[in-house]
Structure 1
Amino acid sequence: MSDDSRNIEQPDMQESRPKTPSRMAEGMAMHRLAETMLPEDVRIFSDPYAVHFINPEILKFAAEHPRKAEQKVREMKNLFPGLGNSIRARVKYFDLVLNECISHDFAQLIILGAGYDTRPYRTPEIDHNFKVFEVDHPETQSVKKEIIRRIFGTLPDNVTYIPLNLETGDLDVALSSSCFSELKKTLVIMEGLIMYLSSDSIHRIFQYFSKECPVGSKILFDYYPESVVSGEKNEYAKNIVKFTQLNGEPLKFGIPDHAERNFMSQWNFADIRIIRSEEYKNLLFTGKNADRSVCDFLSFMEVTI
């Protein structure tokens, strides 16, 4: 690791600056910590670094007031039944795809809206020869880099940090200014991202990768249907919409209901695989986990360029 890890500054990094780093990113770290704390024969993954991305005051409150903390967890589960398990299934499924790609000669990983994703640091298969590009809003990325330095003493040599507002910045310029190679097979991960971007931004992103990544590369992401993002589907959907609004990161984009393949066909991808809630539940929650419910609204998609 080296403190000289690439950090590509972008001219738009001051635009649309949130007042604080992403609260959703911290929330996802809390899910990863909670899963990690489960017994070894129950948890579906382990993230030893998640705890570092959570406000110490939250951890202190949970330690000093366990009953109140448990009550808050129950309230969230009642408000969003199964969603926490879907979020954790997403982590595990994306991990599995990443490892499969590495074993099939992929050489690069791009994490868009990286937040507090720890894959570059907790995946043993990622070595110094495997290039990682973390793209995220500068406010959140700045905090993350400080935490990574505290954990490891320095930043990893193989990770390039690209501060970019995906709504206003130019992804093409950002990646071309880095050591990203358009000749090497690449996995693009967009975990918990596209639902927070505008339709125009989504189209620019898919258009860019469909043209610039070599054949065989993959894009992996999760999504809500349009009816959930609009809040029209049911009360559960309205709760999700309201929650994201209150956290300052409202939902903006959903793929048209029951029309995913038609929507994605405009970029002429070689293959489109949809992983719905029933499939990832049956794959990941077996044995002692068989009774863990998931959210029917959250699906994953894996497309091959």
Structure 2
Amino acid sequence: MSDSTAAGVAKARHIESLAPEATRIIDDPYAQYFYFGASLVNLVGHGAGLWLFDMLMPGAHEMLIARTRCIDDLVQQEVENGACQVVLLGAGYDMRGARLNLAEKKVKVFEVDQPAVQSRKREKVAAIPNLSNPVHFVPVDFACQRVDEELSKVADYDPKAKTLIILEGVSQYIPGEAMLTTLKAMDGVTGPGTCFFFSYVDERIQREAAQLGDAKTVQKIMSMAASVGEPWINFYAQSEVPGLLEASSKFRLVSDVSADEISKKSFPLERQIPPEKLLVIERYVVARK
């Protein structure tokens, strides 16, 4: 399985981490270890790195970084409210456990991903100097293994604990039936009060791409994903989400917000970009049981 999209998101996080501290949205000191070309970005700095990123995919950086900030804030909020486990489904190359010092807060982190992607990540993690990263890696081949069964095999995992589940940038790659199965599975191995975050691609992208950002950029992102073997195959309308949750789990909708809403909230006034340049192809769901 390709890790190209995970590497691309790591690049966006690295570029953002080089921004001036006063206007920086997130800080990820580990992102540079997960993609080719990081030394060049370190050399040219935030401004030129962002310019080059925007030349290829205008508006994508802001969408990805606002999404990261949104989830980071949710993690902090849920931990403060008693969540003692974080499960990252399709964890990719984010180092959220280390970035947010979750081990120091007595929060256990479980990273679930395809075996091949997770193997590559573990190799890269081993090369990061002075890193303490006490996460539980849970390899799951989603074609033939169940995530709930594999999590239950991990000695430190508590299926009755209040947990935060994060499915970031994944739902567009998996069939709708797999999404239902995942919701049902995680409902069965988490305790009361558990929060489930997931992003999804707005189904309007199939017929109204120009309403969600520059149509050429939208098509370019989809084409690039398909070219590395990661085509987008699953989309949702906002009106579908409550039914999706109710049909598969005890999770109930708390919020469903658009990319432009969280971008306006995350970025300071001097870094806001015109609405017509912002990609708003994603929406972000918080559900709770």
The TM tier, using the shorter chain, reads 0.7 to 0.9
Task: Determine if the alignment matches structure 1 residue 166 to structure 2 residue 147.
Answer: no
Asked if 1:272 is matched to 2:225, the reply is: no
Give the letter for the 1:232 counterpart.
Answer: R
Q: How many Å separate the matches in 1 of 2:101 and 2:131?
A: 18
Note if 1:75 corresponds to 2:67: no
In structure 2, the partner of 1:175 is: 151
Please, what TM-score do these two structures have when normalized by structure 2?
0.86
CA distance 1:288–1:60, shift in 2 (3 Å): same
Which of 261, 264, 277 is 1:282 aligned to? 264
**RMSD (CA atoms):** 2.5
Q: 1:300 to 1:110 in 2, by over 3 A?
A: same
Using the TM superposition, give the Cα deviation of residue 256 of structure 1 relative to its aligned residue in structure 2, in angstroms. Answer: 3.0
Structure 2 Cα separation of the partners of residues 232 and 45 of structure 1: 33
Native 8 Å contact 2:82 2:162 kept in 1: yes
Q: Measured at CA, do residues 166 and 152 of structure 1 come closer, stay the same or move farther in structure 2, by a change above 3 Å?
A: farther
Q: In structure 2, do the counterparts of structure 1 residues 153 and 296 end up closer, same or farther at CA, with 3 Å as the change threshold?
A: closer
Higher mean C-alpha displacement, 262-271 vs 201-210: 262-271
Describe the SS at the equivalent of 2:70: helix
Of stretches 133-142 and 262-271 in structure 1, the one that deviates more from structure 2 is 262-271
1:282 and 1:75, CA in 2 relative to 1: closer, same or farther beyond 3 A? Answer: closer
The aligned residue for residue 207 of structure 2 is: 232
The one-letter code of the counterpart of 1:164 is: V
Distance 2:54 2:280 in 1: 19
How is 1:27-42 mapped onto 2 (pairs within 5 angstroms)?
A: 27-42=8-23
In the TM superposition, what is the alpha-carbon distance from 1:292 to its structure 2 partner?
A: 6.2
Distance 1:178 1:42 in 2: 40
| Percent of aligned positions that are identical | 23
Q: 1:252/1:39 Cα in 2 relative to 1: closer, same or farther (>3 Å)?
A: same
AA partner of residue 283 (structure 1): K
The offset of 1:54, in angstroms, is 1.6
**Deviation for aligned residue 1:84:** 1.9
Rounded Cα–Cα distance in structure 2 between residues aligned with 1:291 and 1:72: 16
**Structure 1: stretches of 5+ with no match in the other structure:** 1-17
> Are residues 54 and 292 of structure 1, via their aligned partners in 2, closer, same or farther at CA, if it must alter by over 3 Å?
farther
Q: 1:304, CA displacement in angstroms?
A: 0.5
2:227 aligns with one of 246, 249, 260? 246
Q: Structure 2 regions of 5+ residues with no counterpart?
A: 210-214
Write out per-residue CA displacement over residues 257-276 of structure 1, whole angstroms, 9 at most, x where no aligned residue.
Answer: 54322333323424431121
Counterpart in 2 of 1:301?
Answer: 285
1:99 aligns with 2:76: yes
Provide closer, same or farther for how the CA distance between residues 303 and 46 of structure 1 changes in structure 2, counting only shifts above 3 A. same
1:59 and 2:38 correspond: yes
Q: Which runs of 4+ in 1 moved over 4 A?
A: 60-72, 152-155
Greater shift, 173-182 or 128-137, is seen at: 128-137
Q: Please state whether the residue corresponding to 1:162 is helix, strand or coil.
A: strand
Does the alignment pair 1:22 with 2:6?
no
Whichever residue aligns with residue 188 of structure 2, its letter is: K
Match of 2:89 in 1: 112
Describe the SS at the equivalent of 1:75. Answer: helix
SS at 1:43 equivalent? coil
Partner of 1:243, secondary structure, is helix
TM, length-normalised to structure 1: 0.82
Between the aligned partners of 1:206 and 1:94, the Cα distance in structure 2 is 18
Q: 1:250 to 1:128 in 2, by over 3 A?
A: same
Q: Which has the higher contact order (CA 8 A, sep 6+)?
A: 1
